[in-house]
Amino acid sequence: MENFTRLFLGLLAVLIIVLVFKGGNTMGTSNHEIVILETSKGVIEVELDRTNAPITVDNFLSYVNEGFFDGTIFHRVIPGFMVQGGGFLSDGSQKQTKAPIKLESNNGLKNVAGTIAMARTMVPDSATSQFFINVVDNAFLDYAPGNDGYAVFGKVIAGMDVVQAIEAVETSSNGENQDWPVEDVMIQKVYLK
């Protein structure tokens, strides 16, 4: 019995050492923060990838932490492609953003179904607050020689059914904006888990 106790305590000590030194992070400093998006269609949980997209994650979290996304809408919905939000109010006005960030599309992350990426103009370093969630694999959005791509910075870990519900809404146009949901899809609140 004494040998069993020593073996058990030895294995327990090894387990603790492995957890402490091999990523059993108990201090809340993970490189994969989780953000909750409460929408009018349900809740989406997104795991951010700071390791591969540090500038983009810092930018996104700066908007999250100041409540920027609260009360915005998913303003662009294209079935079989993506759902986009993070910059418009339901009246069609666009929110004032911070300065654009450097494009981090060459980070090894791919625009596959369920990933979140930054929207931008045709200028590579133009992303500010708007983001999109890929509803299918969109390899043509990935970085490649001659293609600047779009920076993936996380993935949906819960609520993909909510993303699909958003994808299914009826759309029309709203002034110059195409693929605008007929009924508002609100982003009610966004916060760190």
Q: What is the pLDDT of residues 126-184, one digit of tens each?
A: 999 999 999 999 999 999 999 999 999 999 999 999 999 999 999 999 999 999 999 99
- Look at residue 101 and tell me whether its pLDDT is greater than 60: yes
Spell out the residues 6+ positions from residue 182 whose beta carbon is closer than 8 angstroms to its own.
Answer: 169, 170, 171, 172
Q: Which tokens go with 54?
A: 């540090």
> 31-192: what fold?
Cyclophilin (2.40.100)
pLDDT at residue 99, rounded to an integer: 98
How many other C-beta atoms lie within 10 A of the C-beta of residue 32? Answer: 14
pLDDT at residue 42, rounded to an integer: 98
Please tell me the least confidently modeled range out of 9-13, 15-19, 46-50: 15-19
Domain with CATH 2.40.100.10 in the chain: 31-192
pLDDT digits (tens, 9 = 90+) for 33-78: 999 999 999 999 999 999 999 999 999 999 999 999 999 999 999 9
pLDDT at residue 72, rounded to an integer: 98
What is the per-residue DSSP string for the chain?
-HHHHHHHHHHHHHHHHHHHHTT---SS--S--EEEEEETTEEEEEEE-TTT-HHHHHHHHHHHHTTTTTTEEEEEEETTTEEEESSB-TTSPBPP----------SS----TTEEEE---SSTT---S-EEEESS--GGGS-BTTB----EEEEEEE-HHHHHHHHTS-EEEETTEEEEESS--EEEEEEE-
d(CA 180, CA 68): 20
- Look at residue 16 and tell me whether its pLDDT is greater than 60: no
Residue listed under structure tokens 């019995």 = 1
- Look at residue 7 and tell me whether its pLDDT is greater than 80: no
